[in-house]
Structure 1
Amino acid sequence: MRRRLILVRHAKSNWDEPSLEDIARPLNARGARNAVTMGRWLKERGFLPDLMIVSPARRTQETAAGLAEGMGVSGETEVDEDLYLAPEDRILSAVKRARGDTVLLIAHNPGISVFATHFARAPHPHPDFRRYPTCATTVFALGADDWRNAEFGHNEVLDFAVPREVEATE
């Protein structure tokens, strides 16, 4: 089996408490719903991760929980401190440390949108691919035989979706 990377931007966060530290912001109601929706979307397509690697931010942790609920899995989750507001090179470093056949990684913009664009052999034609809105999800086929050999520009985009479009078809 080829290795696959599922790349997810955290779902929509709650800005109701402006004094809350950024890392502590939770999801809002739409974000919580979107995470479950995208988990179901992944499950319907057979993209179930062996491992979820997430930023330490509360909103990424809650996104992971919603995705797991939607997928109906309770797989292993690993918190990677380096993913908090990480630029694309730090996201690539996290990918290179991955293990398993299918890994789901949750991080933040702007790093995740730049990473997705650079990681793809060719960008997905969807108009939101480069913008990478909240809870956008891309499934890549890794263009290397091992995570340690992952590189920018060598990975096929297998699928891409955003929650509003998935929810419109449910």
Structure 2
Amino acid sequence: MKTLTLLRHAKSGWDDPVARDFDRPLNPKGRRAAAAMGKHLRELGLTFDRVIASPAVRVRETLDDVATGFGPLSPEWDKRLYLASAASLLDVVRETPAEAASLLLVGHNPGLEDLVLMLVPDERGGLRDTVEEKYPTATLAEMTFAVDDWADVAAGGATLTRFVRPRDVDATLGPDEG
């Protein structure tokens, strides 16, 4: 059994004048959401044998803030995760050594959402429908696979066991009123 957890970076600051998208930092709400999600991950008792993350500034800051509630994560920074497609993310998953039972990928949309939709069978009325509606910033998706080796992870082979949005943890972190 393998457990794959995906965490989308927290809300970034579009008002910040940065030259490159890669350098865009989190905004204050994003920092609060990441910290709240970190605390929630700890409360759930989650552990990760391996953490692989995009090196983008907003992902680095997300992990720093998650660590305030969860504890240190010691990620491996992989440039392939920056704005990666679902297919590229799946390649990273399949390269994970078999001895790792749990893997956390931290990155960006639409790749993370597309990966969940690729891996989880389309059965109406479940958590997958919620993912399909929207995969908000700082949201976590957890999937399990009945395989012994990450190389055997395949489309339609996952069970989506959790989909936790920041607003599920703290109502003040819900969508801004527009």
TM over 0.5, yes or no?
yes
CA distance in 2, matches of 1:74, 1:89: 28
1:4 Cα deviation after fit: 1.0
1:120 Cα deviation after fit: 1.5
Q: Structure 1, residues 25-66: CA drift from partner, whole Å, max 9, x if none?
A: 111111111111111222211212122111111111111222
Q: Does 1:119 align with 2:119?
A: yes
1:19 Cα deviation after fit: 4.1
Query: Percent identity over the alignment?
Result: 36
| Long gaps (5+) in structure 2 | 173-178
TM-score for both structures, normalised by structure 1: 0.89
SS in 2 for 1:56: coil
CA distance in 2, matches of 1:21, 1:8: 22
Q: Who wins on radius of gyration, i.e. which is larger?
A: 2
What residue is the counterpart of 1:147 in the other structure?
150
What residue is the counterpart of 1:39 in the other structure?
38
Contact 1:141 1:157 in 2 (8 A): yes
CA distance in 2, matches of 1:161, 1:56: 23
Give the partner amino acid of 1:147. W
1:122 Cα deviation after fit: 4.6
Give the partner amino acid of 1:102. S
CA distance in 2, matches of 1:112, 1:146: 21
CA distance in 2, matches of 1:116, 1:55: 17
SS in 1 for 2:170: helix
Contact 1:119 1:153 in 2 (8 A): yes
Give the partner amino acid of 1:135. A
1:126 Cα deviation after fit: 6.7
Paired residues, what number? 168
CA distance in 2, matches of 1:163, 1:109: 16
What residue is the counterpart of 2:50 in the other structure?
51
1:88 Cα deviation after fit: 0.4
RMSD of aligned Cα (Å): 2.0
| Long gaps (5+) in structure 1 | none
SS in 2 for 1:76: coil
SS in 2 for 1:33: helix
SS in 1 for 2:127: coil
Contact 2:127 2:160 in 1 (8 A): no
CA distance in 1, matches of 2:112, 2:163: 14
Q: Does 1:15 align with 2:7?
A: no
Contact 1:11 1:31 in 2 (8 A): yes
What residue is the counterpart of 1:109 in the other structure?
109
CA distance in 1, matches of 2:37, 2:127: 19
Give the partner amino acid of 2:120. A
Q: Does 1:82 align with 2:80?
A: yes
1:157 Cα deviation after fit: 1.0
Task: Single out whichever of 115-124 and 86-95 deviates more from structure 2.
Answer: 115-124
